[in-house]
Amino acid sequence: MDITSRSVRSPRTVKDPKVEFSLAATRTLMKIQFRWPPRPLGLGTPLNLAVASPSTPSLVLRNWWLPLVAGVIASIAVLLVDQVLFAGASLGRVREIGSQPLSTRLAIMILSAVEEELIYRVFIATLVAWLVWLAVSHFNREPKQLAQWVGTLVAAYLFGLAHVANLSNVAHPVLRAVTINGIAGIVLGSIYWWRGLELAILTHMVAIATIYIVVPSFM
C-alpha cells in the first residue's frame, strides 16, 4: 500500500478564548491614542496646554493680558462679595498671610496656583466634563460646551468646599467659602477650557498675589 498518497492532516489548533480576548484587547488599546482631556473636550492637547499644539500657542501670546485683568478683577470681586455678604470675614486671613515674609507669600502663590489648577481643573473639571459628554453625546449633537460648563461648576463648588477650613469659625462658613471661592473657580475654569492651562495658572497666581501681596500693603 502506498501511504505517500494519503494526505497528512496537521494537528488542529485549539483557540483559547482567553488568549484571543487578550490579543483583541491589546490590539484595541494600541489603536487608542488616549490623552487627557479626552479628545472631544478642550483645546485638543495634553493637559489642555495651549503650547502643546502648533495651532494653539498663539492663544498664550494673544492673551498675555488676560491673567492680569482676570486675576485682579476676580480677586476684587471676591473681596467685595465677602465684604457685602459676609461682613468682610476674609480680611483677617488677608492680614495674617499678608504679614508673612514675601518669600512665603510667593511660595504660596506659585504652589497653590499650580496644585489647585491641576486638581480642580485638569482632574475634577475634566473628569466631570468627560462623564457628562459620555452621558449626553448620544442625544445632543453639541455636548462639548454643556459638558465643559458642568465640569467647571462642579469643580468650582468643590474648590469652595476645600477652602471652608481656612475660616471655619466665621458665620456661614460653607456658604461663604463656596460663594467667594466659587467665583474664582468659575473664572479659572472658563480660562482653562477656552484659553489653556497655562493662562489659568497665571490668572490664579495674579489673584493670589493681589489678595495676599498687593492688598495687605494698603491695610
Per-residue pLDDT tens over the stretch 71-112:
999 999 999 999 999 999 999 999 999 999 999 999 999 999
Burial class (CB in 10 A: 0-12, 13-18, 19+), 210: buried
- Cβ atoms of 176 and 86 within 8 Å: the answer is yes
- 57 part of a folded domain: yes
Closest CA to 172 of 86, 92, 94: 86
- 3 part of a folded domain: no
- 20 part of a folded domain: no
**pLDDT for the residue numbered 12:** 54
**pLDDT for the residue numbered 72:** 98
Range of the domain at 57: 46-218
Domain count, the chain: 1
DSSP string, 52-106: GSTTSHHHHHHTTTHHHHHHHHHHHHHHHHHHHHHTTTHHHHHHHHHTS-HHHHH
Closest CA to 87 of 175, 218, 213, 206: 175
Residue 166 identity: N
- Cβ atoms of 97 and 105 within 8 Å: the answer is yes
Question: Which DSSP letter does residue 16 get?
Answer: P
- Cβ atoms of 67 and 60 within 8 Å: the answer is no
User: One digit per residue, pLDDT tens: the chain, 219 residues?
Assistant: 554 545 555 555 556 665 666 666 555 444 445 689 998 899 989 999 999 877 777 888 889 999 999 999 999 999 999 999 999 999 999 999 999 999 999 999 999 999 999 999 999 999 999 999 999 988 888 899 999 999 999 999 999 999 999 999 999 999 999 999 999 999 999 999 999 999 999 999 999 999 999 999 998
| CA 16 vs CA 20, 23, 137: distances in Å | 6, 11, 37
- 167 part of a folded domain: yes
CA atoms within a 13 Å half-sphere pointing along the CA-CB vector of 152: 21
> Whole-angstrom Cα distance, residue 80 to residue 189?
21
Closest CA to 44 of 57, 63, 31, 27: 57
- 13 part of a folded domain: no
- 182 part of a folded domain: yes
- 17 part of a folded domain: no
| CA 100 vs CA 29, 89, 104, 212, 216: distances in Å | 51, 19, 6, 9, 10
Q: Rounded to 5, what percent of the chain is helix, strand, coil?
A: 75, 0, 25
The residue written with cell numbers 466659587 in the block is 182
How many residues in the chain? 219
**pLDDT for the residue numbered 3:** 47
- 29 part of a folded domain: no
**pLDDT for the residue numbered 58:** 83
